Structure 1
Amino acid sequence: MPQGLALALYAALLRLLTPLYLLRLWRRGAQEPLYRHALGERLGFYKAGTEPGRLWVHAVSLGETRAASALIAALREREPGLRLLLTHSTATGRDAGAALLRDGDAQTWLPYDTPGAVRRFLRHWQPRVGVLMETEVWPVLQREAERAGLPMVLANARLSEKSLRQGQRFAALMRPAARRMALALAQTEADAARLRLIGAPRVDVAGNLKYDIAMDPALTARGQAWAAQLGRPVLMLAVSREGEEAALLAEWARRTSPRPLLAIVPRHPQRFDEIAALIQGAGFTLARRSTWGDTPPAEALQADVWLGDSMREMPLYYGLATVALLGGSFEPLGGQNLIEAAACGCPVLAGPHTFNFTEAAGLAIAAGAARRCGSLAEAVAQGEALCRDEPTRSHMSASALAFATAHRGAAGRMAAALLAMAPP
């Protein structure tokens, strides 16, 4: 299909689907009210004027926003008067991003990828450069940015083999979008090679921003204090995804007492109540983190399972955990970020599916900070064994901290490249 026709059909389809997108947001807002905030921004409409020239960073959700925090800190270090435009697509991303703002900064939703919405967005904000985090390449946005003379950069860029195959399937859309990218700052050499295959004209390997994310030491210390209060080990399923919690609870029911405390921290907040019901339905006593403040009550200390139903407290949970099972890796979902666990010194057991973090997982395993398990049952068995094996666990913890420290520096490299491309 000719590229121009493919883009026209894509844009027309998105226009037709826009009412359904807005309805879906409204429904989702019943559980997460932020989704109902400023719906006009999704279409490129804004209530007040603004000054042009901000540096624009788009971080779609929570994970990308956390990675962006390291980049933004490095940018501010090099340009103290930086004015930032921060955009998101999810409520968790926008909520976390609000903490990164300073006087003179702005935050908004990224508009839908339709010509009218994108043009209104670019005319209103007139940023000096656009930075898309990790995988966010949008065909219409790329075309309109090129027409507006706006350089676009893909930062902390990653592209798995699966995503490459999908991109090649829709090459009439994705190849022109990739070609319009002024610069891609890839996490790894493998990511860089795949980005070049999809059409990116200039790709540099800068490393992974997630090694540079600052872990809150106060939160980690609080988690460690809770672990001391418990007086028993904690096996945690960290950043869990659909299907993993039920499988873990079924496996946990087969384990004999005395068992460690089981902690489950779901990836998506809209699933907190669903997971609570699963835990209680499996016959376990439940304590929810959201029901107490700085100190768990006595009944929580006696519970079978803790549900980590709070946001932006992962350092606390990694401080609490004796061993962490890596969420998203026990179903074919690609795994979650294990770098945060390493930065907190928490040993990790990963499942067979870590294609979203192939290099980081491989390096962590090679460094002795993590282990690979072929199944959830194997991971639970190894986790319980590690909970009893303090010398091995201490060695893994020290290896994790050394691994996380050794790979820092991507934020500074990316900040320097961005500011060279778009000086104040």
Structure 2
Amino acid sequence: MARYLYSLIFYLITPFILLRLLYRAWKAPAYAARWLERFAFFPSRPLNKPIWVHAVSVGETIAAAPLIKSLQQRYPDRDIVVTTMTPTGSERVRALFGDSVFHVYAPYDLPGSVKRFLRKVKPETLIIMETELWPNIVHYTARSGIPVILANARLSERSARGYQRVRFIAQPMLQALSRIVAQNAADAERFKLAGADDASVVVSGSIKFDFSIDPSLEGKSQKLREQWGVTRPVWIAASTHQGEDQPALDVHKKLLKQWPNALLIIVPRHPERFKSVYQLCSSAGYKTAKRSANDLLDETVQVLLADTMGELMLFYGAADVAFVGGSLIESGGHNPLEPAALKMPVIMGPHVFNFEAICHELSAAGGLKFVGSAELLAERVGEFFEDEVYREDVGLAASSVVEANRGALERLLNEIDYELQEYRVRHAHRKI
């Protein structure tokens, strides 16, 4: 009954969702395209025993990349279907996989759209990355006898409290999942308390530790440093949100007093903010270069605006110190493992509930430093600029955490193997 009421409300608010899409398209034109896909209207093609992987946006797509590549190697006879919800996620899928996967936007969680999508794609399993759970997608997929696996699953205390408030709809949804493969024991326990069946919950660790680094990255990053000036101190404010750019610029002003040739690389999380962040940098009086314009970056340039997509690791590799955004404001923080894997000291604000266990493990090892304000951020960056040995020690500590936690991907793949085998057995019995 609860899900029917939810579906009715979803139908009623759909016009407002479309108006929001229109508003977002005003800021980011990519949102204006491919609306019909969101209602499962798209040209279909024959797919062979497809595995459907859903990753909502850029972060989940990057995290899913090693999984998708492993599935392609493990099941070369199967098609991989990848869905996202955002244009930036879509761009990442296309950049990473091209035509080797079938990619469309995920259907809105309306019964008609979900059933239409299932009829067209006919998946043999659905793998949902992290926390992107939708009641109708889970219900109709599971009702079709298709295993639904929540992979690399995490549930923060904040989200768990939200699930408790809507337990009447969350519990049936969680119980319809074939497997919840949680990142850690705390996440697993929160899923159980929210209503998941104990037997369906397993712990694999986080597959975010299992990403690989392009062997050519070091050379490319070094080439950038040579263009900028090898000896100048460089720090990066990565994946920043509104409310973090100005503090980063204020920090840089303080740093320039002691290191006049210091360079800040600022990487806004959302492409629609590139223009406004550039204006912010310019109005603050900084000589600012744009990556997209291939501006000359001599030592007089104080800020580089990284207004391109897919180059974050390149910029991490070219910097000395990394501040990871989404953490000075209550957005939950972004992935600290990428700079950590590059042996960089990592700094984050206090709001890291999206990566809580990972951040605290990095912090306990000495590889991540928390700050609660722009003043403390300036102090920490300055300490790393001042002491190269300290900077290297903290970077090595961060890297050691990444190396020690690899292996979650193989454990997740084993769970997927099991569910696919069970599906084939059930399917074979139905045919007899």
Q: TM-score range by the shorter chain?
A: over 0.9
Correspondent of 1:264 among 260, 263, 266: 266
- What does residue range 268-347 of structure 1 map to in structure 2 within 5 Å? 268-292=270-294, 297-299=296-298, 301-347=299-345
Shifted more, 73-82 versus 236-245: the winner is 73-82
Give 2:322's aligned amino acid: A
CA deviation profile, 1:268-298 (whole Å, cap 9, x unmatched)? 1111111111111111111111111xxx624
Query: Within 5 A, what are the aligned runs for 1:21-420?
Result: 21-51=17-47, 53-101=49-97, 105-201=101-197, 202-229=200-227, 230=229, 231-255=231-255, 256-259=257-260, 260-292=262-294, 297-299=296-298, 301-420=299-418
| Conserved 8 A contact 1:211-1:339 | yes
Amino acid at match of 1:420: Y
My pick for the range that moved more, 6-15 or 334-343, is 6-15
| Larger CA deviation: 214-223 vs 267-276 | 214-223
| Percent of aligned positions that are identical | 38
Letter in 2 for 1:41: E
Cα offset, 1:125, TM superposition: 0.8
Distance apart, 1:239 and its partner CA = 1.1
5+ residue gaps, structure 2, are 425-432
Partner-residue secondary structure (3-state), 2:216: helix
Maintained 8 Å contact 2:44/2:121? no
Query: Across the two proteins, how many residue pairs are aligned to each other?
Result: 416
The TM-score normalised by the length of structure 2 is 0.91
Which amino acid in 2 is paired with 1:358?
A: E
Alpha-carbon deviation of 1:30? 4.3
Aligned-partner Cα distance in 2 for 1:73–1:312: 18
CA 1:417–1:83 in 2, change beyond 3 Å: closer, same or farther? Answer: same
Alpha-carbon separation, structure 1, partners of 2:210 and 2:113:
34
Shift of 1:27: 3.8
Closer, same or farther in 2 for the Cα pair 1:379/1:117, shift >3 Å? same
SS in 2 for 1:333: coil
| Amino acid of the structure 1 residue aligned with 2:162 | Q
State the one-letter code of the partner of 1:303: V
Write the distance in 2 (CA, Å) between the matches of 1:307 and 1:90: 22
| 4+ long deviations beyond 6 Å | none
Deviation at 1:100, TM superposition (A): 4.1
What letter corresponds to residue 206 of structure 1 in structure 2?
S
Of 151-160 and 104-113, deviating more is 104-113
The answer on whether the counterparts of 2:233 and 2:259 sit within 8 Å (CA) in structure 1 is no
Higher mean C-alpha displacement, 250-259 vs 407-416:
250-259
Letter in 1 for 2:237: L
Q: Is the 8 A contact 2:207 2:408 kept in 1?
A: yes
